Amino acid sequence: MRRSARPFAALVAALTLTAGLFAAGAPASARDSDASTAAQASDVSLAADTYDWKNVRIDGGGFVPGIVFNRTEKNLAYARTDIGGAYRWDQSGKQWKPLLDWVDWDHWGWTGVVSLASDSVDPDKVYAAVGTYTNDWDPTNGAVLRSSDRGATWKASTLPFKLGGNMPGRGMGERLAVDPNKNSVLYLGAPSGNGLWRSTDSGATWSEVTAFPNPGNYSQDPTDTSGYGNDNQGIVWVTFDERSGSAGSATQDIYVGVADKDNTVYRSTDGGTTWSRIAGQPTGYLAHKGVLDSDNGYLYLTLSDTGGPYDGGKGQIWRYTTATGEWKDVSPVAEADTYYGFSGLTVDRQHPGTVMATAYSSWWPDTQIFRSTDSGATWTQAWDYTSYPNRSNRFTQDVSSVPWLTWGANPTPPETTPKLGWMTEALEIDPFDSNRMMYGTGATIYGTENLTNWDSGSQFKITPMVKGLEETAVNDLASPPSGAPLLSALGDIGGFRHTDLDAVPDMMFTSPNLTSTTSLDFAESSPNTVVRVGSADAAPHIGFSTDNGSNWFQGSEPSGVTGGGTVAAAADASGFVWSPEGTGVHHTTGYGSSWSASTGIPQGATVESDRKNPKKFYGYKAGTFYVSTDGGATFTAKASSGLPTEGNVRFKAVPGTEGDIWLAGGATTGAYGLWHSTDSGATFTKLSGVGEADSVGFGKAAAGASYQTLFVSAKIGGVRGIFRSTDAGTSWTRINDDAHQWGWTGAAITGDPRVFGRVYVSTNGRGIMYGDSSDSDGGGTDPGTDPGTDPGTDPGTDPGTDPGDAACSVTYKVTNQWSGGFQADVTLTNTGSAELDGWKLAWTFPDGQKVGQAWNATVDQDGAKVTATNVSWNGRLAPGASAGFGFTGTLTGGNTAPGAFSLGGEACATG
């Protein structure tokens, strides 16, 4: 559970990212013109490979501050995360589908989602207000993203200010709302004193509502000078009373919540022309939510003395009767008895008068959920005390699908494990199903499908409803040559031993439990020995394992340690070197029973071990490389000329070869790139073709290759991406694509020493991505050979052959084009006499176009050749039936349409 604000400061303060914004109106997945120009100018040999990308399953792991159900279409729901993007609910698989994986490196802040809005008039439309920080930690302004295909593709409207998906108050909302009567009208509540904003053209353009009188004045910590705690939390929610409008006419009565304890609710009764503070409203609190039960005309407020999401010491719930103007305190407990604030708030659209709320900031002994079936006159609780400390629960809880949610804890009553949660600011009853309710926590989404058991006196069942939503921030990754294929170091939930990449691990690392693991390592020739370090409320900050991470024991630590820092294990497990926060570099020859200070290396240096010589360790700080040949006791400064003196720098030694080191990092204001040393850091050579690099790792060598496969998160040939080289950096293959970018990926990357081509990629909020190459045996075109020359069989048949009596026809239409990119729609029609049971359409682009994001088909590209394969629901085409799909693409020159298409090796007619 996220106990800290996780401001990302240590990383971002050292990073300078290019802030080239997408043009308003262009599909947000399109590359901007500057990037396209840079790619054209590249002299680097870039091949292409088709990768299959998946999440390493953890299920959840971060704060879910918002869940939004569409009010007019059943089973259409969205979830937002503070740093990990947005998701759409897939009812068929009862899982979440990510919607913002296309967000690129330069716009990593757009993975923080401030608010979501689903259009009840046109359910295909969905909007997301994005931006992670309102201060200079985030280099780009916020934006409102809009989609007309449920998040399959997006267009972006950049705002003249920043938004804060990971700022204090991020659980309040929703700040973004669509007029339920005239859906071209939207409102957005802005932070930082920027007021209330409105769009009248379905989110394409925005302007400030200058008549709105109060931009807010509350900040979490006015004494904070960083721009984080002292930011004005601003306008925090917008709610329409749909009864005051009609289809096609703007809603007249609009309610707005403001971060101002004396003036927290405003109303317009003339469609947003004028605004006034509602008289008689409660004061001394912030209204986290404002939800209207339109059937009986009650506006409910959940109030807290702070903006959340983890603080809050007092709270109330109030009800406003819109017809009479009466305010009534309907709090389920007396204010004096609260030690928490209220936030989560929902009404049952099928049963007017049923309302629920959460005590979002009640960490101990558990959160509380309240329910009323008489409009707040009386309430019951999810759990009650019988005789303290014993509890009586109205629910049962089953976390077998995500077992780590018990945290491996064995608490003393009244605390239980698993808990109902904490930071429970998102709470929604399905508007079509009174039995289904979902709520977000700091670690997961919980839900139930038999909620009304609450009212009948029997227990309702709570389970995780989080499959597909991956929201961990990844700090380090390791793939040992034996044992588990992957070990992870994660923010907030420590990390895991992943024995099955496609299954949720049983438990995070324990003994000790580290809130965030900052670094881990294994002994190269004895991979059962693993060490990890990280953050903790108190000592210890280090743990050791002798069984490949299955079980752990605590180590002692030097005095003065305040945080994890970095750690390295000797190649033969004979010793360890640790560079913790709070004190200098230390070394030990045991399992941390005693530590001795290292000399010759500065405090705060990053440390790594040689992967062959057990006595050799390396360090780096501020442009100087350090080497120890005595197990970390003494270090000597080595190379410094030309290495980066600022920015984040990560380096690794190649397994099996002494002194072979790759170093990545830097900043755009100085040296930045990828360097290689073969003499233990005495000298480094910069790779000329790599413009920027941030992490480097190694994997199994390609067939016939003598050198391990390199993987980097880098900018090569003017293109940001994940790259692979099988010839020690001479040539590179970009292995991700524009639909799989995941924002910032600079913390860690590693290949798998047992599976050629497999790579594990860190993200900051989308968990661990792993990719497998179609070139699984290490042969094929990588590196360097033109992938377009592979004769193949599919789509190798020349689509330009005479279609003759073709059993298919294709129409191809460019529907939109902008500088550097375009959007196209394709329709495939079965003109034969037999049903098609699955289809794969092939064509060749004549001008080097590249497919980015696709919808309604799975599109793969190999050089100029493209194949589009049906998805599960449109594969069967009866004679005369058609299937349509589309995609966005990038341009480096012209955009001539493909001249021919083939289906299963047979040419299609075109028209």
Inform me whether the pLDDT recorded for 795 exceeds 60: no
CA angle 633, 634, 637 (to 5 degrees): 150
Inform me whether the pLDDT recorded for 425 exceeds 60: yes
Closest C-alpha among 604, 648, 473, 566 to residue 15: 648
User: pLDDT class for 781, splitting at 50, 70, 90?
Assistant: very low
Judge whether 329 counts as a catalytic residue.
no
- Residue-level pLDDT at 883: 84
State how far the Cα of 34 lies from the Cα of 20, in Å rounded to an integer. 8
Inform me whether the pLDDT recorded for 200 exceeds 60: yes
CB contact at 8 A, 600 and 609: no
CA angle 471, 477, 478 (to 5 degrees): 145
Measured CA distances, 559 to 480, 516, 540, 580, 758 (Å): 31, 20, 11, 10, 40
- Residue-level pLDDT at 889: 86
Catalytic residue among 32, 59, 82, 348: 82
pLDDT in tens, 73-128: 999 999 999 999 999 999 999 999 999 999 999 999 999 999 999 999 999 999 99
Closest C-alpha among 848, 861, 855 to residue 896: 848
- Residue-level pLDDT at 790: 32
Inform me whether the pLDDT recorded for 589 exceeds 90: yes
State how far the Cα of 428 lies from the Cα of 674, in Å rounded to an integer. 48
Judge whether 694 counts as a catalytic residue.
no
CA angle 858, 129, 31 (to 5 degrees): 45
Mean pLDDT taken over the chain: 90
Measured CA distances, 713 to 80, 705, 774, 850 (Å): 26, 22, 20, 20
State how far the Cα of 33 lies from the Cα of 192, in Å rounded to an integer. 31
Question: Residue 616: how many CB atoms within 10 A of its CB?
Answer: 22
pLDDT in tens, 286-302: 999 999 999 999 999 99
Mean pLDDT for 741-746 is 98
- Residue-level pLDDT at 327: 98
* Strands of the sheet with 553-554, listed across from one edge: 516-523, 526-535, 542-545, 553-554
Buried residues in 157-179 as b, exposed as e (16+ CB within 10 A): bbbebbbbbbbbbbbbbbbbbbb
Identify each DSSP E strand in 119-163 by its residue range: 126-130, 143-147, 155-158
Inform me whether the pLDDT recorded for 469 exceeds 50: yes
User: pLDDT class for 873, splitting at 50, 70, 90?
Assistant: low
State how far the Cα of 661 lies from the Cα of 652, in Å rounded to an integer. 6
With pLDDT > 90 as the criterion, what percentage of the chain qualifies? 83
- Residue-level pLDDT at 18: 24
- Residue-level pLDDT at 536: 92
State how far the Cα of 733 lies from the Cα of 606, in Å rounded to an integer. 29
Inform me whether the pLDDT recorded for 405 exceeds 70: yes
pLDDT in tens, 21-72: 222 233 333 222 222 222 222 223 445 578 999 999 999 999 999 999 999 9
pLDDT in tens, 893-907: 899 999 999 998 889
Closest C-alpha among 135, 54, 35, 16 to residue 763: 54
State how far the Cα of 257 lies from the Cα of 250, in Å rounded to an integer. 20
What single-letter DSSP state applies at residue 700?
P
Mean pLDDT for 769-795 is 50
Mean pLDDT for 714-733 is 96
- Sorted by sequence, the CB contacts under 8 Å of residue 220 that are 6+ apart come out as 168, 169, 229, 230, 231, 233, 306, 307, 311
- Residue-level pLDDT at 857: 85
Catalytic residue among 366, 492, 694, 782: 492
User: pLDDT class for 248, splitting at 50, 70, 90?
Assistant: very high
- Residue-level pLDDT at 891: 86
> Any idea which residue has 């109106």 for tokens?
25
CB contact at 8 A, 460 and 394: yes
* Strands of the sheet with 126-130, listed across from one edge: 113-118, 126-130, 143-147, 155-158
At residue 850, what are phi and psi to the nearest 5 degrees?
-125, 130
State how far the Cα of 880 lies from the Cα of 891, in Å rounded to an integer. 34
- Residue-level pLDDT at 38: 23
* Strands of the sheet with 380-381, listed across from one edge: 342-347, 355-359, 368-372, 380-381
- Residue-level pLDDT at 482: 97
- Residue-level pLDDT at 307: 98
- Sorted by sequence, the CB contacts under 8 Å of residue 214 that are 6+ apart come out as 258, 260, 263, 266, 277
State how far the Cα of 141 lies from the Cα of 161, in Å rounded to an integer. 5
Residues of the chain by 3-state class (helix, strand, coil), percent to 5: 5, 40, 60
Least-confidence region, from 52-56, 137-141, 227-231, 816-820? 816-820
- Sorted by sequence, the CB contacts under 8 Å of residue 831 that are 6+ apart come out as 806, 807, 808, 809, 879, 880, 909
User: pLDDT class for 9, splitting at 50, 70, 90?
Assistant: very low
Residues written for the chain? 911
- Residue-level pLDDT at 667: 96
- Residue-level pLDDT at 602: 98
- Residue-level pLDDT at 823: 78
CB contact at 8 A, 713 and 761: yes
Mean pLDDT for 438-460 is 97
With pLDDT > 70 as the criterion, what percentage of the chain qualifies? 91
Element (H, E) at 352: none
At residue 350, what are phi and psi to the nearest 5 degrees?
-85, -20
What single-letter DSSP state applies at residue 105?
G
- Residue-level pLDDT at 803: 39
CB contact at 8 A, 260 and 278: no
Q: Would the CA dihedral through 569, 574, 580, 584 be positive or negative?
A: negative
- Sorted by sequence, the CB contacts under 8 Å of residue 280 that are 6+ apart come out as 325, 326, 327
pLDDT in tens, 670-685: 999 999 999 999 999 9
Please list the residues that pair with 497 across neighbouring strands.
Answer: 487
pLDDT in tens, 137-158: 999 999 999 999 999 999 999 9
Selected residue with higher pLDDT from 778 and 611? 611
CB contact at 8 A, 136 and 155: no
